[in-house]
Structure 1
């Protein structure tokens, strides 16, 4: 279940408009994930990821690496809040 939720969050964050250069915080990422899931649904988020990997694989890989890193950071902060400072 947790793995499925993490994958959905990754797909939603991937298709969002957030950019690494914005250095988004937890709240902005959570808002972006929620907005994308509400707007596109889980299937739509997955389709957006698939489309980008088909059209621009080199950029999509970089974006997904960033997305996964951000979600990992949020997980670490959640489990070890003192690391967030």
Structure 2
């Protein structure tokens, strides 16, 4: 089971954009795909997010806020309030 923050960090590293009209399925699918490409290790995503926060602080906050909101909605709707990676 992953936390909302961990899921958001994984989503943050995908090519999805806040301006895209994404379904909950697309968000969950992107998270699973990214986790698979990282060998299931979310720490890779956390390291990337930290680097982006340092390199691009002007865009980091807005993207992370979007990622947090997106995974909260996508996983809440799929799992009746419990956040878990598929």
Report which structure shows greater RCO (CA 8 Å, sep ≥6): 2
1:33 and 2:24 matched: no
**Is this contact kept in 1: 2:6–2:42, CA < 8 A?**
yes
Aligned length: 78
CA distance in 1, matches of 2:59, 2:73: 21
Higher-Rg member (1/2): 1
Q: What residue is the counterpart of 2:49 in the other structure?
A: 49
CA distance in 2, matches of 1:5, 1:50: 17
* Superposition RMSD in Å: 1.9
List gaps (5 residues or longer) in structure 2.
82-86
TM-score (norm 2): 0.77
Q: What residue is the counterpart of 2:3 in the other structure?
A: 5
1:65 and 2:49 matched: no
CA distance in 2, matches of 1:75, 1:38: 18
CA distance in 1, matches of 2:25, 2:8: 15
CA distance in 2, matches of 1:77, 1:32: 16
Which protein is richer in helix relative to its size? 1
TM-score (norm 1): 0.77
